[in-house]
Amino acid sequence: MKKLAVLLSGRGSNFIKIYENIQSGVIKNAEIVLVISNKHDAPGLTYARESGLNAIYLNPKDYSDREQYDRAIVELLKKEKIDLVCLAGYMRIITKFFVESFPNKIINIHPSLLPAFPGLDAQRQALEYGVKYTGCTVHFVDEKVDHGAIILQEVVEVLEDDTVEALSARILQKEHIIYSRAIDLIVNDRIYIDGRIVRFKKV
Ligand code: GRF
């Protein structure tokens, strides 16, 4: 059984989907043993608590800088012997210290087809740019924002008269599918990283 930690800051719909997919066996050989939030009122954190998970709020204001904060998180993750860290709407840029403490063991979901539209408001960026297709990306986390090796992507068509809300909702449906699929591939040892290319292992 691989031990997962989820870091979140808000709604937590990706986390909830991952949790449900573990319960129902869509993701095999994994358990969520820790949920951490930098927001005390994150709905995702409440859901985790109500589900009986180990759910921890860490207040950034209690730490002198970003690295001290990340050191506290890394300590928790190491204590629980976490195998894979899943960022799911975690609205903080993680430090080099954190990335280097869990090499190729931190993944993130982003609501665009990277490398297009990194950073905040990716769905709005796509709409305003006028692309005809956008989507979502699950990737390994490295020191640059929304940059690491790409694990899975899914395409979403931009419609005439689309709105940020409508487009975001359609992208989110795909996020919920590919994030779980990516986790299943990693915990069941189906992929490896070759430079910055993620390759499937031959079966
Ligand atoms: C998602 O769109 C994800 O791609 C982005 O933040 C949002 C989080 O949504 N990183 P939720 O909290 O998982 O519902």
Q: Which residue has its alpha carbon closest to ligand 1 atom 1?
A: 89
In 24-163, which ranges are continuous DSSP H helix?
A: 43-50, 66-79, 96-101, 122-129
Answer whether 183's CB lies under 8 Å from 18's CB.
yes
Round to whole Å and give the CA distance between 126 and 167.
Answer: 10
The one-letter code for the residue type at 173 is Q
Give the pLDDT confidence score for residue 203 in this predicted structure: 77
Atom 10 of ligand 1, residue of closest alpha carbon: 89
State the Cα–Cα distance between residues 203 and 199, nearest whole angstrom: 12
Say how far apart CA 19 and CA 165 lie, in whole Å: 25
**β-pair partners for 153:** 137
Instruction: Note the pLDDT of residue 76.
Output: 98
Strand pairing class (197-200; 191-194) = antiparallel
Query: CA–CA separation, 177 vs 181, rounded Å?
Result: 6
Catalytic residues: 110
Q: pLDDT, tens digit, for every residue of 33-49? A: 999 999 999 999 999 99
Q: How far is the CA of 159 from the centre of ligand 1 (A)?
A: 21
pLDDT of residue 202: 87
Minimum-distance ligand 1 atom for the alpha carbon of 13: 14
Other Cβ atoms within 10 Å of 36 Cβ, number = 22
Residue nearest to atom 12 of ligand 1 (CA): 12
Positions of the chain with pLDDT lower than 50, given as ranges: none
User: Residue 158 Cα, ligand 1 centroid: separation in angstroms?
Assistant: 19
Is the bond preceding 118 in cis, omega lying within 30 degrees of 0? no
Q: Under DSSP, is residue 191 helix (H, G, I), strand (E, B) or coil?
A: strand
Burial class (CB in 10 A: 0-12, 13-18, 19+), 118: middle
**Coil vs helix vs strand at 124:** helix
